[in-house]
Amino acid sequence: MSAIAPTKPTTYLQVLDAEGNVVNPSLMPNLTDEQLRSLMHKMVFTRIWDQRAIKLTRQGRLGFYAPVGGQEASMIGSEAATEKEDFLFPSYRDVPQSVWHGWPLYQAFLYSRGHQHGGQFPQDVHVIMPQIIIGAQIVQTAGTALAFKLRKEKRVAFTYIGDGGTSQGDFYEGINFAGAYQAPAVFVVQNNQFAISVPVALQTAAETLANKAVAAGIPGVQVDGMDVLAVYGAMKQAVDRARAGEGPSLIETMTFRYGPHTMSGDDPTRYRSKELEEEWQKKDPLVRFRNFLQSKNLWSKEDEDLVIEEAKAAVNDALAKADAYQKMTIPGLIDSMFKTLPADLIAQRTEFDS
């Protein structure tokens, strides 16, 4: 498989069509049956969890939340191609990749509520708290990747932004830096067609967002982001390149979020047509991969029902654990900010205690 174009990324990578038929056998990634089933398991689990999280947000039981339905193939397929020691820099929508990379689900719920423990990751979980500032994690990824290179560690730093993130200065700064130093980084642009309400065509004159890699002198490729096998294959090649010391890559996944930008008041019916939404729902990543697996007798309704029940139970357990977690306090917040408190914070804490 040769997925990464060296200079002009005009190739559109796809393994499965919308019905789940293999249309490019040469791009089929080398995965075992269990690995294929694992991809489906994670996508179904993530969709059920997402549906539940949306309801919990409406009930006021979660805080900030950015729906992910429709983007499961882009998220799960890319994360699955990394190793546990690789370091993930997510944006606010990339909670699924963070959880599958080791972030406990109950902490993701605490993060949504603004609880500081949500961002206190276990030592062996190589994920940083989801970045709210658009594109800021691109620079962080480039710097971390360079550190891996200087330490001669065979690790990769990988990150995600939306299409709107490629219009930020941090995006160009980060990919240029990574390219100049041949840092082991992978930048994934999840092009879900809209930067909140602004369509891609109004954001840039570039033919594709993957083409922006050319300016940084790094490989870039555009992938069907509703096709989990195409995403996995492109990400695996990019990660392998980085780990082998061949430098960074940029992957643009063409995807679509079915829900609003976030649950904080966005109404997609004001900027998206019903016809566009129906067009993308016909490309649903779960439907096409389910069809593919069933054609190989690797998936059944019973398998799917088990995952659905597992996801519901996991969400309930995580929610109960988040509900039971010790509430934040002002002294606790102050005490956690520095190993040794500076004088001004000591004064504030004393004033609060008095």
> Dihedral, CA atoms, 276, 277, 280, 281, nearest 10 degrees?
-150
Candidate list 101, 243, 257, 290, residue with the active-site label: 257
Q: CB of 286 within 8 A of CB of 226?
A: no
3-state secondary structure the chain: CCCCECCCCCCEECCECCCCCECCHHHCCCCCHHHHHHHHHHHHHHHHHHHHHHHHHHCCCCCCCCCCCCCHHHHHHHHCCCCCCCEEECECCCHHHHHHCCCCHHHHHHHHCCCHHHHCCCCCCCECCCECCCCHHHHHHHHHHHHHHHCCCCCCEEEEEEHHHHHCHHHHHHHHHHHHCCCCEEEEEEECCEECCEEHHHCCCCCCCHHHHHHHCCCEEEEECCCHHHHHHHHHHHHHHHHCCCCCEEEEEECCCCCCCCCCCCCHHHCCCHHHHHHHHCCCHHHHHHHHHHHCCCCCHHHHHHHHHHHHHHHHHHHHHHHHCCCCCHHHHHHCCCCCCCHHHHHHHHHHHC
* Active-site residue flag, 181: no
Candidate list 61, 271, 325, 349, residue with the active-site label: 271
What CA–CA distances, in Å, run from 69 to 48, 82, 265? 9, 22, 17
* Active-site residue flag, 271: yes
Question: For the purposes of burial, counting CB atoms within 10 Å of the CB of 68, is it exposed (0-12), middle (13-18) or buried (19 or more)?
Answer: buried
Candidate list 261, 272, 288, 290, residue with the active-site label: 261
Joined together, the tokens standing for residue 309 give 């029940």
* Active-site residue flag, 126: no
Q: Which residues are catalytic?
A: 257, 261, 271
